[in-house]
Structure 1
Amino acid sequence: MHGTSATGYRHTREGTPCQDAWASEETASGLVLAIADGAGSAPHSREGAWAAVQLAVRAFLPLVAPWERLPDAHARTEELTEAFREVRAAFLQWCQGPPGLYATTLTVVVLAPGWLGQLSVGDGLVLVRADASAAGSASYHLLPRAHTGSEYANETVFVGSPTALAQLRVDCVRDDAIDGVLLSTDGLTHALLRRAPAGPPLPHDAFLGHLFDRLARSDYDHAEEERRLKAFLDSDQITRVTGDDKTLLWAIRT
């Protein structure tokens, strides 16, 4: 598993810190991964993003169990939704004031044997890798996204928004072939997705393949990967298309 965040050049220019956050937790059965993107217009969104991912990991961790424990997609979806209700209630209590001051999106993934659960409010991305066990056959898929919009608090949906539950995206994916997952804030949309001639955007298979292949190497070096990613996220190639903060969090099942 590897996660990293980089401050967008807009925030660097203005002297403001990165407003993205990520957190993860691993058990014997799998993982919980969470990312958040604080709204640029909210004065305390950085703190809100950090609170949201920490609360999410805590609430979703009990759901990390093999498919056989609850072989019912609808029941799994209900569990995911209930965990978000817990997160939102705890977040509103933590704010101790107007939640708009701490506005943040949230994307959570539960990865366990036989299934993957996705829950998102806002504009995060989740991509999965499947069929990587056969040489050269790995495929990458973009999971359906929740409500999208700009970073401005009056135009998108956040954890503390009154409509958060109504505009929540929840999916339970039953697939034994899934062995990798990547979460990203919307600042990396152009790097991770490519336009298709018709229909929705498609994953950049080559870029994703490099990321997952490096993570799977026996000589994987966390510090070297972090250096490589920071250089890429701060490169002209990325800053030409986005001035937003950027977060990547990805993991493979070994």
Structure 2
Amino acid sequence: MDRALTGEWRVRGVSVRGYRHVRDGKPCQDAHGHSVTGPPDDRVTVLAVADGAGSRRLSDKGSALAVRLATGRFGRLCAGRSEERDVRGLLFEGLEDVRRSFLTETGAAAADHATTLTVVVLTRAWLGYLTVGDGFAVLRAGDEGGERQFHLLPQADAVSEYGNETVFLSSNDATAKARAECVRDPGVDGMFLSTDGLAQAALTRASGASQRPNSSFATGMLRSLDAARADLDEDDRKLTTYLSSDQLTRLNGDDKTVLRAVRL
């Protein structure tokens, strides 16, 4: 079977507390996770990252809950659906399922659990992407002049002109503000998802107000996972140190999460 059409992915993720939360003695309010379901020839891998609202007292629990629900619900919903044509409809169905469970489990305290959520579903034939809030995902696919190419998946529309405002999974307009896309490109062989704490490092401004991936950052994120004999635990330790470094803290003092995946 063509390597680009197999369902096997190497997945690793790291979340670290930002400087402000270390200083104030608060927990990391980011979360990440993944799940793998289905038979070897039709695997479904779900990746999810979430960023709890810094001003909400239970947002660390909200982000963890959102990731747990997303990896479980999207995995079951998409299993056996690699030939699905209406992927965007399937993704919104999954979002509604996750929101119902999230609101049920948090009850009257839903607003205190406020969190963003970004999900990528990887199947044999397509990649599905859904984001609520300001998380983002970068794909690696193809090359140009020997240089690997990175592509920023479309982000949700800004809530307002102010950069520190976003929409949350518990928001009444979460579904209306969410962005869902489908990619059918067998050349996709790597990606990473992140919360907005890494936006200044991972993305650069192109013409106008648009953004594009920082190729240097993206290359560094995926290079070690590509190595067949990579020491993944040591790689996680190095990545944790890097995400906590003064270099990145000067760009953004928020919590930072990166969830990486490469095809085997």
Q: Is the TM value for this pair above 0.5?
A: yes
Query: Any conservation in 2 of the 1:64–1:111 contact (CA below 8 Å)?
Result: no
Q: What is the match of residue 127 of structure 1?
A: 138
Q: Could you report, residue by residue, the CA deviation over 1:196-223 in whole angstroms, capped at 9, with x for unpaired residues? A: 2445122111221122121010121122
Q: What is the match of residue 29 of structure 2?
A: 19
Q: Could you report, residue by residue, the CA deviation over 1:162-185 in whole angstroms, capped at 9, with x for unpaired residues? A: 110111111111111111121000
Out of 63, 73, 94, the residue aligned to residue 49 of structure 1 is 63
Q: What is the match of residue 209 of structure 1?
A: 219
Q: What is the match of residue 106 of structure 2?
A: 95
Query: Any conservation in 1 of the 2:44–2:75 contact (CA below 8 Å)?
Result: no
Out of 220, 229, 233, the residue aligned to residue 243 of structure 2 is 233
Report SS of the residue matched to 2:97.
Answer: helix
Out of 185, 190, 194, the residue aligned to residue 195 of structure 2 is 185
* 99 and 58 in structure 1: CA distance in 2 versus 1, 3 angstrom threshold: same
Q: Distance in 2 between matches of 1:246 and 1:201?
A: 19
Structure 2: stretches of 5+ with no match in the other structure: 1-10
Matched, 1:40 2:54: yes
Report SS of the residue matched to 1:17.
Answer: coil
Q: What is the match of residue 118 of structure 2?
A: 107
Counterpart AA for 1:227: R
Q: What is the match of residue 3 of structure 2?
A: none
Matched, 1:219 2:233: no
Q: What is the match of residue 180 of structure 2?
A: 170
How far off is 1:65 after superposition?
A: 4.8
Matched, 1:161 2:175: no
Structure 1: stretches of 5+ with no match in the other structure: none
Q: Distance in 2 between matches of 1:105 and 1:14?
A: 22
Q: Distance in 1 between matches of 2:33 and 2:147?
A: 30
Q: Distance in 1 between matches of 2:138 and 2:28?
A: 23
How high is the TM-score relative to the length of structure 2? Answer: 0.88
Q: 1:65-104, aligned counterparts within 5 Å?
A: 65=80, 67=82, 69-70=83-84, 72=85, 75-104=86-115
Runs (4 or more) in structure 1 with deviation over 6 Å come to none
Q: Distance in 2 between matches of 1:135 and 1:217?
A: 22
Report SS of the residue matched to 1:202.
Answer: strand
Q: What is the match of residue 148 of structure 2?
A: 138
Query: Any conservation in 2 of the 1:32–1:64 contact (CA below 8 Å)?
Result: no
Q: What is the match of residue 8 of structure 2?
A: none
Q: Distance in 2 between matches of 1:210 and 1:50?
A: 27
Q: Distance in 1 between matches of 2:81 and 2:90?
A: 14
Q: What is the match of residue 249 of structure 1?
A: 259
Q: Distance in 2 between matches of 1:197 and 1:81?
A: 31
* 82 and 169 in structure 1: CA distance in 2 versus 1, 3 angstrom threshold: same
Query: Any conservation in 2 of the 1:126–1:183 contact (CA below 8 Å)?
Result: yes
What RMSD in Å do the two structures reach over aligned CA positions? 1.9
Query: Any conservation in 2 of the 1:191–1:204 contact (CA below 8 Å)?
Result: yes
Q: Distance in 2 between matches of 1:148 and 1:39?
A: 16
Q: Could you report, residue by residue, the CA deviation over 1:52-105 in whole angstroms, capped at 9, with x for unpaired residues? A: 0000011100315574x22x2xx1111110011000000000002131110000
Matched, 1:147 2:157: yes
Deviates more, 1:165-174 or 1:188-197: 188-197
State the percentage of identical aligned residues: 43
Report SS of the residue matched to 1:215.
Answer: helix
Report SS of the residue matched to 2:72.
Answer: helix
The number of residue pairs the alignment matches comes to: 247
